[in-house]
Structure 1
Amino acid sequence: MKVDEIDLKILKILQQDGRLSNAEIAERVALSPSPCLRRLRRLETEGVIQGYRPQLNRQVVGLGMTVFVQVKLHDHSAESVTGFEDAVREMDAVVNAHTVSGSADYLLEVVAEDLIDYDRLVKQMQRLNMVREIESNFALQAVKTEAPLPLKL
């Protein structure tokens, strides 16, 4: 799919405020509402826009602990990789998971209520037979989170 300059403007506006109406977006990108809505629907259908959701304050909803977890597997067999990735997808506390290069195989971003809550997750991961090592890095302070993508216009 080709994304043109108007599409990029729409995307940038939506990243700043996903609750804007089509009419407000159309006005900001100098389109009439109908063509703007067609562009929005195309961006959604083509998977450029993958969804709309609110950003929640983790502290307020009781998930004030953020931990970055490096996980090493015993091996990289298809069975181990698939098993681990399937297990991680089922763990609600894991909000982001990436395969990475370097000393670890995976980098997970985990949210928890407190140390006891996080310990439950670690024990759940330790029970996975493909997991060799878990290293936890506790976030002390969020400096920048959930920033919009740096779209070039």
Structure 2
Amino acid sequence: MNDVTLDRIDRKILDQLMRDTTLPVAQLAERVGLSQTPCWKRIQKLEAAGVITRRVALVDPVKIGLGLTVFVEVEALDHTPEWRAAFRALIPRFPAIVEVHRLAGTVDYLLKVVVPDMRAFDEFYLQLTRALPCRNITSKFSTEAILVSTVWPIDVETV
């Protein structure tokens, strides 16, 4: 939410939780300079305000058999509300799509797709192109993930 004001302590709490959400409240409180109860109340406030949206386990995709990451650029067939609605409705049908970004520029959408191998990607690609007409689809295959992070660069020193 844009109307949430975060002070330095809120930012420290968020920074620590983005790094390790399994921290016990006592340890988290110590790291941010609070006692347990006020720390827990701030976490609850951040969740209620929608700042903290989920707490999840991060899993190595290769270790669960998802060894191929592909970035798929999609150019819309047209820019009508109907096409956009059809595209948005299509996304949940494809669990291999783990991120979708609408872009400005020559490419309209960028999909991050994670699949076991090239054969699985080919099947994904064929299903996608059958399900939704597009002007162009371009695939870029990741050969090495140099940095993958879920920690946002939050300023914990000011405010």
Same fold (TM over 0.5): yes
Q: Tell me which residue corresponds to 2:68.
A: 65
Please state how far the C-alpha of 1:130 moved relative to its aligned partner.
3.4
Does structure 1 residue 112 correspond to structure 2 residue 112? no
Q: Tell me which residue corresponds to 2:90.
A: 87
Q: Secondary structure at the match of 1:102?
A: coil
Q: Secondary structure at the match of 1:107?
A: strand
Q: Secondary structure at the match of 1:84?
A: helix
Q: Tell me which residue corresponds to 1:50.
A: 53
Runs of 4 or more off by more than 2 Å in structure 1? none
User: Is the 1:72–1:133 contact (alpha carbons within 8 Å) kept by the matching residues of 2?
Assistant: yes
Q: Tell me the TM-score normalised to structure 2 length.
A: 0.93
Paired residues, what number?
153
Q: Tell me which residue corresponds to 1:143.
A: 146
Distance, in Å, in 2 between the alignment partners of 1:8 and 1:99 is 28
Identity of aligned residues (%): 37
Unaligned runs of 5+ in 2: none
Distance, in Å, in 2 between the alignment partners of 1:110 and 1:129 is 16
Distance, in Å, in 2 between the alignment partners of 1:20 and 1:6 is 16
Does structure 1 residue 18 correspond to structure 2 residue 21? yes
Q: Tell me the TM-score normalised to structure 1 length.
A: 0.96
User: Is the 2:75–2:108 contact (alpha carbons within 8 Å) kept by the matching residues of 1?
Assistant: yes
Please state how far the C-alpha of 1:65 moved relative to its aligned partner.
0.2
User: Is the 2:66–2:114 contact (alpha carbons within 8 Å) kept by the matching residues of 1?
Assistant: yes
Please state how far the C-alpha of 1:100 moved relative to its aligned partner.
0.4
Residue type of the partner of 2:138?
A: E
